[in-house]
Amino acid sequence: MRVVVLENAEAVAQFAADFIVRQVNGKPNSVLGLATGSTPLGTYRKLIEAYQAGRVSFKSVTTFNLDEYYGLEPTHEQSYRRFMCESLFNHIDIDLAKTHVPLGSTLDVERETASYEQAIRGVGGIDLQLLGIGTDGHIAFNEPGSSLASRTRLKTLTRRTRQDNARFFGTIDGVPKMAITMGIGTIMESRELLLLACGEGKAEAIARSFEGPISSICPASVLQWHRQAIVVLDKGAARGLSQLEYYADCEANLKEVAKV
């Protein structure tokens, strides 16, 4: 696991965008796993800038989003389909037919979740998965206690998650109580993972996830098992880590090797 600590959220966004641009330029038909929420917004802005500058094209890229609120139509102002269109898809040359978000308004959850898994398998799996992290250590909507082998499914949201997201809905009562989410097992099958976190509010979750024991109570901790996981943090989110000097040494040595 690689831990990269940068000065601020702007630097985190730039690192992630540059990483994604390299992935797409190296493999134009890349399959990207995408996240929602406030954390990846800076990265999406940087990707739009890169596209507008002619540094990258997304016309052959396929995407799969991590999750969607259960019960929301794709056109709902707080749906993740709408979020992705407004934050990224509408501003780049991606084929919308190749962008996938779970259908929160489905009347057949079992069929929807099974078909989502099949769609991921059908394109050969996810090359690069972008992740955020909840204040309780959840990834996607895999809440504490989730099976570390779970697949795409319907999941009940904790009150803490709903409270964290209440700012988008006005009150906690407006936040859906359930969501369709990729499972932890699904996420772990991606070839590379890029987890972003910014701000001191994420510091405890980061420390528990990457310097604590692997446990379903802290779902992000399972990423310690991933072969190609990169954790990109600003100084606030890294505040609780005990091995900061070592992580800095690792990054310095990687840069030296790259020069050879």
Alpha carbons within 13 angstroms on the beta-carbon side of residue 201 total 9
The residue to which tokens 């099974």 are assigned = 114
Helix (H, G, I), strand (E, B) or coil at 49: helix
DSSP H or E stretch at residue 181: strand 178-181
Give percent helix, percent strand, percent coil of the chain, each to the nearest 5.
Answer: 45, 20, 40
Query: Which residues carry out catalysis?
Result: 67, 136, 138, 143
Cα–Cα distance, 30 to 187 (Å, whole number): 16
Tokens of 144: 């504490």
